[in-house]
Chain A
Amino acid sequence: MPSSLPAAVRNHLAALRMLLVLTVITGIAYPLVVTGIAQTAFSHQANGSLVHLNGHVVGSSLIGQNFNLMKNGKDTGKPDPKWFQPRPSAGGYDPLASGASNLGPNNADLVKTIKERRAAVAAFDGVNPKDVPVDAVTASGSGLDPDISKAYADEQVDRVARARGLDPAAVRKLVADNTHSRAVGFLGQDYVNVVNLNLDLAKAG
């Protein structure tokens, strides 16, 4: 580097060169090598754990989706009794709008919304409002939560079986198949994956 330049300029030029060097290593080489290995060794996970129905991609087992009544290819916003329903979502299960409601712990609108959700879910599933579990009346952090509690899944079994004309025991078996206990025995909490559960329902007819 020419030593005739003022020290401050030389210092910043060196800084820029070091930044570019480190960018190539940590910003280009590192993610591309990781991507290469991921695509080779773990391509299912690396590509978003996609799930298929009749040969078509119908979503990701990690990303929740709406199970509403459809009318002329449009979402009516009303839950479809034939499917297990996911948790409320602040972003309507749109992966381009992930996030939470951010409503405060004493926000009057949130309290009102929770009470409305409780009444609606209880009526929909035909249960006592005070038995509706917490995950059924609260929006998740990501707005994409694919999971519900075992209690919320159990609550929905009879309604789904009735709507589909299935034996509740058969539906209960599908719930059990999609129930996951804590990771490694003690991490997180139990959950039922709604996307996979409904996919199994769809496959069962």
Chain B
Amino acid sequence: MNDTLAGWLQALALIGALALSYRPLGDYIAHVLTTPKHLRAERFLYRLGGVNADVDQRWPVYLRSVLAFSAVSVIFLYAFQRLQSHLLLAIGMKAVPPGTAFNTAASFVTNTNWQSYSGETTMGHLVQMAGLAVQNFVSAAVGIAVVAALIRGFTRKRTDRIGNFWVDLTRVTVRVLLPIAFVFAIVLVAAGAVENLHGVHEISTIVGDKQSITGGPVASQEVIKELGTNGGGFYNANSAHPFENPNAFTNWLEIYLLLVIATSLPRTFGTMVGDKRQGYAIVSVMALIWVASVVLVTVNELHSVSSTAGHAAGGMMEGKEQRFGIWASALFATSTTLTSTGAVNSFHDSYTPGGGGMTIFNMMLGEIAPGGTGSGLYGILILAVITVFVAGLMVGRTPEYLGKKLGSREMKFASLYILTTPAIVLIGAGTAMSLRGERANMLNSGPHGFSEVLYAFTSAANNNGSAFAGLTVSSDWWNTALGLAMLFGRFLPMIFVLALAGSLARQQPVPVTTGTLPTHRPQFVGLLSGVILIVVGLTYFPALALGPLAEGLH
């Protein structure tokens, strides 16, 4: 079989597997989010946690629960890292320095998993398992909880209640993430990933040199890192590391896992709003953008477009693994940056200007194709709201989406949502570039160096976590600036989403008339795709022109 055919087949097999998962997983999540019945085990957990699981919350209460849980998580994770040398399974690791500990705590709680540390020399096993990996589960569940609240805003009428955060959080963790993670963790180990509690042990190699073989509960963390679109690697090399991702099969499986929840959530949405066509329209937009991006990244990498190093080497294999090759690396790179995962199986800094530039652009789109667990769907639903509004302006009608009027209050929240992330990215990157010392942390110079800085703030503010990793980010300034970018980039949008949910839930739905814009037809799929590219894409055009575009045209 030739490379091209094999390359297409692995993408097609992925699409097939995701399509097969769409209905069962989407409907199952809808059931989990709507059933009135608690499991007995869950009742026990609520009692231990001391929360009332039987009343729905108003949106400010729901929001305060999200923020309280996240604030407590940041403090807990910070303290955990600072104290790790006194705890079990530290395998000789010292206390994590304050700047790195803050950055890492913010990073994992916000589902970003940006890593300003190197796993194999910084984190003991207990922090990895009971600190970092726990946030892999719960930060993913928080994202799904928030989108569940938004969907309830559309489905409920004349109420100020949008659900119970503790119930959503617990159910998603226990009924959705945990069982899937458990099954595929075993599959990963069977396929070669490591899972043990050993520390580092030194061996004598075949030629008699010394080598340190690392251990760790890797597979169990690897699975939830992908499934929860987190992306924080157990080791510095992330999913390029053979212990995390031993072969091309595990690689394909990991790409599937990082896409599957976000691509199935539109089904959850369609099922919950009682019109499955709405879900198909949303997932179609996601698929269009994903396919276009896969093609663009792959073509750039295959042909070493605008890369002198690629031409000198005879291909773009710098930073890529032999067992994966170009196709499987480009597929992973596209999927990880179009979701909020940020795991990498190859290093984007060495990608072509076009391929690497696309990974930045993917994140800039707001990670909505399909996006992070929950955050992808609420991101694209906000853009759908804006699309309906724009279409309403064209024909001079008050816009409505799924029977809910989009008045000035709703549009304010949607607009604030859209403006938040670009503001963080552009202010952050601009500030870093204006400070000589911080700018000096670039590894590469010229436009590519600027791309490293732009990538860092885009990744942090969009909660992606991947990097043009040449940039040195372990200084206090970078740890603090990117830590704040992650926190604001995660929680400000959530405030606007929940406020919008509250505002929608209060309304009495308006009946569909001939003047209502249908939001399930190809026309809407086209409109929404256009709005995404124009509204979001153009915001960043000047920044992209200074980085990847300048480098590509040079």
B312 CB contacts on chain A under 8 angstroms: 111, 114-115, 118, 137
CA gap between A48 and B235 in the complex, in Å: 14
Q: Which DSSP category, helix, strand, loop or mixed, fits chain A's interface?
A: mixed
A133 to B347 Cα, complex, angstroms: 20
Contact of A45 among B9, B194, B306, B324 (CB under 8 A): B194
- Does B492 interact with chain A (Cβ within 8 Å)? no
Point out the residues of chain A lying under 8 angstroms from B292, CB to CB. Answer: none
Indicate if B37 sits at the interface (CB-CB under 8 A).
Answer: no
What residue in chain A is nearest B45 (Cβ atoms)? A21
Task: Give the Cβ gap from A98 to chain B, nearest Cβ, in Å.
Answer: 4
Q: B241, A144: Cβ atoms under 8 Å?
A: yes
Q: Are B248 and A104 in contact (CB under 8 A)?
A: no
User: What is the bound-complex CA distance between A41 and B188, given in angstroms?
Assistant: 12
Smallest distance from the beta carbon of A128 to chain B beta carbons, Å?
A: 13
**Which B residues touch A22, using CB under 8 A?**
134, 137-138, 169-170, 173
State whether B196 touches A35 (Cβ < 8 A).
yes
Q: Does A99 contact B (CB under 8 A)?
A: yes
Cross-chain contact B48 with A17 (CB below 8 angstroms):
yes
Q: Does B351 contact A (CB under 8 A)?
A: yes
A19 touching B138, Cβ below 8 Å: yes
CA A187 to CA B214, docked complex, whole Å: 27
B219 smallest CB distance to A (angstroms): 7
Question: Which residues does chain A contribute within 8 Å of B249, judged by CB atoms?
Answer: 183-184, 187-188
Whether A31 lies near B133 (C-beta < 8 A) is yes
User: How far apart are the CA atoms of A188 and B330 in the complex, in Å?
Assistant: 11
For B206, B306, B314, B320, which residue has the most chain A Cβ atoms within 10 angstroms?
Answer: B206
10 A-B contact pairs sorted by A residue (CB < 8 Å) = A34-B186, A46-B194, A68-B207, A83-B207, A102-B444, A114-B309, A142-B242, A147-B322, A184-B249, A202-B206
A residues touching B (Cβ–Cβ < 8 Å)? 1, 8, 11-19, 21-23, 25-28, 30-31, 33-35, 37-39, 41-42, 45-50, 53, 56-60, 62-63, 65-68, 70, 73, 75, 80, 83, 87, 93-107, 110-111, 114-115, 118, 133-135, 137-149, 180, 182-189, 191, 195, 198-199, 202
Known interface pairs A22-B137, A98-B237, A106-B353; 20 further A-B residue pairs with C-beta atoms within 8 A, sorted by A's residue number: A19-B72, A27-B130, A34-B182, A35-B220, A46-B195, A59-B206, A63-B242, A65-B205, A95-B212, A98-B240, A100-B318, A101-B350, A102-B349, A102-B470, A104-B309, A105-B352, A110-B350, A135-B322, A142-B240, A182-B248
**What 5 A-B pairs come out closest when comparing CB atoms?**
A188-B248, A141-B240, A27-B130, A189-B325, A105-B307
Interface residues of B (CB under 8 A from A): 1, 3, 5-6, 9-10, 13, 45, 48-51, 64-65, 68-69, 71-73, 76, 118, 120-121, 129-131, 133-134, 137-138, 166, 169-170, 173-174, 177-178, 181-182, 185-186, 189-198, 200, 203-209, 211-215, 217, 219-221, 224, 235-237, 240-243, 246-249, 251-252, 304, 306-310, 312-325, 327-329, 344-347, 349-353, 356, 443-444, 448-449, 451, 468-470, 551, 554
